[in-house]
Structures are given as structure tokens and as C-alpha cells.
Structure 1
């Protein structure tokens, strides 16, 4: 199946496709042309994403004509009429989000906000592997990972849970894996439970935004979010895997 590249441009990422889908849904399926101000604005937004630094040097990269073409691709997936040169990314993004315009708008706004705020770091985005990318795209996945890895927050969360008398994984219920005082807590990690579409630029992560998980369950919940293509909470993972909650 051919992809909408054009002039040697890279394939469209999930983030880019979400932004294009948001425009398509906002205009009610009436695809605007390359001279439309909304298409031009989207072209500029796509070129600002820190995901294709080399390609953005080319005038053909995500230019208004290419954006209008992508909107026609989405129209074909949505209605069955129009251009037939659509990609697997077009189809999967439509299948997952085509019926949820408000969610698409929140995701598109969150992606754009992260880029505008400077929180979207290219090295972190490109480090997200295919089997780690959430349905909301790599920009927000990378931000999620960064917020979870703040050492101070993990330490405060462990201290809080210990004071509450529930120093166990919130998925499987396991406690510290070692009786050694300096190693007992090494298996615990902080997981950010806020859905990606609700992230706000510059927002302070609070302890109530975090769940304490063992390292195994933390990897499992990230994998579940990737496989299920939806947000999964710790209690839902417990139910999925038949674990005691």
C-alpha cells in the first residue's frame, strides 16, 4: 500500500496524522484546498514538529499542497470516495479516532501545546520505539515518559505510600521484592495516570497524578496501552491480567 510521501518526504507520523484528522473533522468533511488559511496554518504547525529535522529543510515537506492531499486521503478512508492512495496510518488513525472528534481535538491541542511550549524534545520523541508508542503519538508518549522519570516525585510517592501503610504495587499487590534495606524499593516505579490528551504544557505533576507500580506491571501497563490503543488504568490492567486489585 502506497504512503503519502511525495518528493521523497518521510511517511506521516501518528502525531501528524492526528493533526490532519482534527482539521478534517473540524471542517465537516469538506476538504479545503492548499490556498485555504486553515491548511496553510496546519502546514506551518506540521513543519514545526520536532520529528523530521532534515526533511523540514525542503520546501516540499508538509507544504499546503501536501496537507490538502493528506486531507483527501482521510476523506477516502472516511467516505470511500476521493483519492485511493491512502496509508495504513490513515486507516488505523481513522478507525481509532474518526468517531471521536472531541477527543481528536484534545489530542491535537495537547500535541500543539507541547511543541509551542518547548517541552517536545526531539531526542526523546525519536527514542520512542514502535512497540512503546501510545495511540496519541510520540510527542505525548515522550512527555509521559519524562514526567514519570522525575526521581524526586518517585521518592515522594514511595514515602507517602509507606506512611499510608500500603507500600505495594497498585496492579498486582506485590510488596518490596527484597528484604535488604537499600534494595527493597528498587523494584517500584511511578506511573503517570493522567490520559495523554489531558496533558497541559507546564503543568506540575502532583502525587495524586501518579500510581506506584512494580517494574513488571509498569512495563505491562505501557504495553497494554500500546496494544489496546486506548488509555489503561492500573485497576483495568489488574482485571485484564486476572490480578487481585
Structure 2
């Protein structure tokens, strides 16, 4: 099966396919051509999305013709009609979201909003492929930027210390050291619910769990392998199955 890359340009990312899917789900049976204003607008939007290095783009990067072709790719995945040249990402995004138009619209809205945040854009531009959630690189970056907020972390640690000793909310392990000056470094914040579900513009202390660094890494990997959200309870169950 051929993979659409666009004349030497980088492969389409999940963010880009989600934005194209958002347009596709509004079109009905007619797929517009490259001169359509909606296609031109999406082309301009994709060219600004901070998920590919500028050095990897050429003058034809995500041009209107390529966007119109991507809509045809999605149509083929959705209906089985047309040229068999869609990518594995097209297929995966359709399987994950193709029958959830309201969620697609919500994700597309959030991708557009978060892509304009300088901190999120910087994180998205340097993220590794194996760190990406099913919602795409931009929302993965937004998730991580918020979790790393020093102010949020201070609030969470203060709240947890007020009710007892610090422990990981997944594996229940206390700090490995009794040295209070470094013990807190073992713990990280993790959203209890995905940003796409809460739609919150700011993360509160009550929105996150306090996990040890190991469990935090594991829960992110679990979400990547599942191509969907995993709760702290999901990770706890997975750890029990492994023992």
C-alpha cells in the first residue's frame, strides 16, 4: 500500500489527519478540490502547525492540492471507494475517531488553540514519535507542559503533604530516600482525565494525581500502546497482571 508523503515532505501526523478528518466529516458526499476555500484555509493552517521542522518542508508542503488529496485518502478509508493509497496513519485515525464527529470537532478546536501557545509549540516541535498520544502531538505537548508546571507541582505536593506522607497514587511506594531535600523529586503530576475530555484552559491541583516517575512513564506508554486514555486504575491493574 502506497504511503502519501507529498513529494518528499514529511509524512502526515495524527494532528494533521485529525484536522483533515474534521473537515471531511462536514462535507457529505462531495470532496472539494484544491481551489475550494475550505481546502485552502486548511492548507494554510497545516503549514503553520508546529509538528514538523521547517528544514523538512519544501514549497509544496501541505499545499491545497495535497490537502484535497488527503481528503480523498480519508474518503477511501471511510467508504472503501477510490484509489488504495491511504497511509497507516489515515487508517488508524479513522478507526479511532471516524465515528465520533463531536469528539473530532472538540479535538480539532483544541489542537488549533494549543498550537498557538509558544511553550506547547516548542514541546511539540521536539517531541519523539514514541511519546505521542492518539490525540496527536500538539495535545500531547499541551498535556506535558501543564504537568511540568512548577506552580502546579508545588500546589499538589503541598496538598498531599497536608493529608499524610507522600506516596505514589498508583503503586503506593513512598520516597526511596528519607532525605526531605530530595525526596519530592521522585514525584510528578499526571492528569486524571485527558484535556480533550475536560476542555479546561487551566489545570488545578485536584485535576492531577501524584505519581512516582516510574509509574508516570509507564502510564504514558500504556496510553500509547492502547491508542487511548489510561487511568491510574488501569495502570494499577496492568501492574497487578504483570506480577
- Report the secondary structure of 1:213's partner residue: strand
1:24–1:30: 8 Å Cα contact kept in structure 2? no
1:7 aligns with 2:7: yes
Aligned to 2:137: 138
Aligned to 1:95: 95
Aligned to 1:229: 227
TM-score normalized by the length of structure 1: 0.90
1:211 aligns with 2:206: no
Q: Aligned partners of 1:166 and 1:239: how far apart in 2?
A: 23
Give the length in aligned residue pairs: 240
Q: Aligned partners of 1:204 and 1:47: how far apart in 2?
A: 27
2:50–2:125: 8 Å Cα contact kept in structure 1? no
Structure having the higher helix fraction is 2
1:171–1:238: 8 Å Cα contact kept in structure 2? yes
Q: Aligned partners of 2:240 and 2:84: how far apart in 1?
A: 43
- Report the secondary structure of 1:110's partner residue: helix
Q: What is the CA distance between 1:156 and its match in structure 2?
A: 1.8
Structure 2: gaps spanning 5 or more residues: none
Q: Aligned partners of 1:119 and 1:92: how far apart in 2?
A: 28
Query: For each residue in 1:183-208, what CA deviation from the matched residue of structure 2 results, as whole angstroms up to 9, or x when unmatched?
Result: 3222111112341324758x232111
CA RMSD between the two structures: 2.0
Structure 1's 105 and 119: CA in aligned 2 closer, same or farther, altered over 3 A? farther
2:51–2:137: 8 Å Cα contact kept in structure 1? no
TM-score normalized by the length of structure 2: 0.91
Aligned to 1:186: 185
Q: What is the CA distance between 1:117 and its match in structure 2?
A: 4.6
Q: Structure 1 segments of 4 or more deviating over 3 A?
A: 54-57, 116-120, 198-201
1:22 aligns with 2:17: no
Where do 1:25-64 residues align within 5 Å?
Answer: 25-52=25-52, 53-54=54-55, 58=59, 60-64=60-64
Query: For each residue in 1:63-108, what CA deviation from the matched residue of structure 2 results, as whole angstroms up to 9, or x when unmatched?
Result: 1111110000011111110121111111111111111111111111
1:32–1:39: 8 Å Cα contact kept in structure 2? yes
